[in-house]
């Protein structure tokens, strides 16, 4: 049996991250199904003083941006960004654990939202943070995965940057 060198960026070494992508996407879709079949539309259901469930639809990307692009345009943009994320993941090394986890979460969230957009023409959002005088944009688990993934990728870059030896002085 032969094994790939530990530093190679082989597809095999990405297997666990591909599984995480599938789990993230499946969990997102399952929760959205439960929300669609069990929550009234645009009716706030308080969970905590600052957290509520609130089913609504988003025809744009994060915070309803780019809604004027239409379903097809947003799907194309999302798929292009997803392809770029796959490209970056394939170029990463096994030592870039945070980046690989981040890419997997971003991809799982992006695909979860693309599925919604392709099937329904909108994304199902349901998490609402609020105070009596303010509320944050309504979002979903896919958005959480995308945000956490982005944080992990940035963290990987920071850790990598901090680990670089000092540049020689001229």
**DSSP per position, 62-78:** TTTBTGGGHHHHHHHHH
In the prediction, which pLDDT does 59 show? 84
Q: Tell me what pLDDT residue 6 has.
A: 46
Residue 10: CB atoms within 10 A of its CB come to: 13
Task: Check if 125 is active-site.
Answer: yes
CA gap 110, 102 in Å, rounded: 12
Please count the other Cβ atoms lying within 10 Å of the Cβ belonging to residue 87. Answer: 11
Nearest to 139 by CA among 120, 36, 147: 147
pLDDT for res 68: 62
Q: What's the pTM value of the predicted model, to 2 decimals?
A: 0.83
pLDDT of residue 137: 86
Q: Which pLDDT score, from 0 to 100, does residue 1 have? A: 41
Q: What angle do CA 109, 28, 48 make, to 5 degrees?
A: 110
**Cα distance between residue 129 and residue 62, in whole Å:** 15
Q: What is the pLDDT of residue 14?
A: 83
Cα torsion 12, 114, 140, 25: sign: negative
The one catalytic residue in 28, 71, 116, 125 is: 125
Q: What is the pLDDT along the chain (170 residues), one digit of tens a residue?
A: 443 444 444 566 888 999 999 999 999 999 999 999 999 999 999 999 999 999 999 887 765 566 666 677 888 888 999 999 999 999 999 999 999 999 999 999 999 999 999 999 999 999 999 998 898 889 999 999 999 999 999 999 988 776 565 555 55
What confidence score (pLDDT) does residue 102 get?
A: 97
Residue 143: active-site member: yes
> Quick one: DSSP state of residue 7?
T
Catalytic residue among 28, 71, 116, 143: 143
């Amino acid at each position: 049996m032969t094994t790939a060198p530990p530093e190679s960026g082989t597809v095999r070494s990405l297997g666990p991250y591909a599984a995480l992508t599938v789990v993230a996407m499946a969990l997102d879709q399952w929760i959205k199904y439960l929300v669609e079949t069990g929550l009234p539309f645009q009716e706030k259901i308080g969970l905590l003083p600052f957290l509520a469930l609130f089913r609504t639809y988003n025809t744009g990307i994060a915070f309803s941006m780019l809604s004027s692009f239409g379903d097809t345009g947003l799907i194309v943009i999302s798929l292009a960004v997803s392809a770029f994320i796959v490209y970056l993941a394939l170029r990463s090394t096994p030592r870039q654990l945070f980046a690989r986890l981040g890419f997997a979460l971003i991809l799982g969230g992006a695909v979860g939202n693309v599925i919604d957009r392709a099937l329904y023409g909108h994304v199902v959002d349901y998490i609402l943070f609020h105070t009596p005088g303010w509320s944050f944009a309504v979002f979903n688990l896919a958005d959480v995965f995308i945000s956490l993934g982005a944080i992990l990728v940035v963290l990987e870059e920071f850790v990598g940057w901090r680990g670089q030896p000092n540049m020689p002085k001229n």
